[in-house]
A and B are shown apart, each in its own frame.
Chain A
Amino acid sequence: DQQVKQNSPSLSVQEGRISILNCDYTNSMFDYFLWYKKYPAEGPTFLISISSIKDKNEDGRFTVFLNKSAKHLSLHIVPSQPGDSAVYFCAASAVGGTYKYIFGTGTRLKVLA
């Protein structure tokens, strides 16, 4: 039972263009969401988060959008850079209940120079 889904295993984008990574969840109790980036042979690194009281959070080139009614969030990277090539994981948690994050399976982003 995959509560957090990243349906696109991979994505290729031209340098300078927008990258959009999608994540869907099924548990309506989730109210805090994270995005992590992972390079090969390294652990995931925290990228950006969003609480369910917001529908958008922006940090530099990275913006996360949350659509609670659709149980969908997306990460936008603008402009995309070759160094952004990595695997991106979304994760969800019910802040008021559990400290356990449920992670998606990841999307491998390749930014082409």
Chain B
Amino acid sequence: GAGVSQSPSNKVTEKGKDVELRCDPISGHTALYWYRQRLGQGLEFLIYFQGNSAPDKSGLPSDRFSAERTGESVSTLTIQRTQQEDSAVYLCASSADRVPSYEQYFGPGTRLTVT
């Protein structure tokens, strides 16, 4: 079966522009996560969706970041007025279980470069 897919794979944008990143989770996975990995850093939790529950947005670094998910399908991560410090690889993961999510399946990531 298909794994987690993300698009675009690479995105170069000018400072101040908005970007939208997409994640298609594995079909049937109720949980979806967004992470960010800056150069030389670990994976930084951003947001978590579980079914129809209110998402946990506690990892979003600023109000320029937002994410949506339609049911248990596609999710989009939007960054408004991008800054150079937003440059990173943005990773999406999904899992079948609620808590704990022992095994998260990751997509290949979107490499965002803000110039």
Contacts and interface: CB of A to CB of B under 8 A. Distances in A.
A102 to B, nearest CB: 8
Bin chain A's interface residue count: 20 to 34
Contact of B59 (A2, A89, A100): A100
Contacts, number: 61
B99 interface: yes
Contact of A45 (B31, B35, B106): B106
Interface string A44-74: 1110010000000000000000000000000
Interface string A24-57: 0000000010101000011111100100000000
A85 interface: no
A105 B102 contact: no
Interface in A7-37: 32, 34, 36
B43 interface: yes
A93 interface: yes
B101 interface: yes
Secondary structure call for the B interface: loop
Interface of B: 4, 31, 35, 40-45, 48, 50, 56, 59, 91, 93, 98-109
Interface of A: 2, 4, 6, 32, 34, 36, 41-46, 49, 89, 91, 93, 95, 99-106
Given A95-B100, A99-B99, 6 more contacts: A2-B42, A6-B42, A41-B108, A43-B106, A99-B100, A100-B45
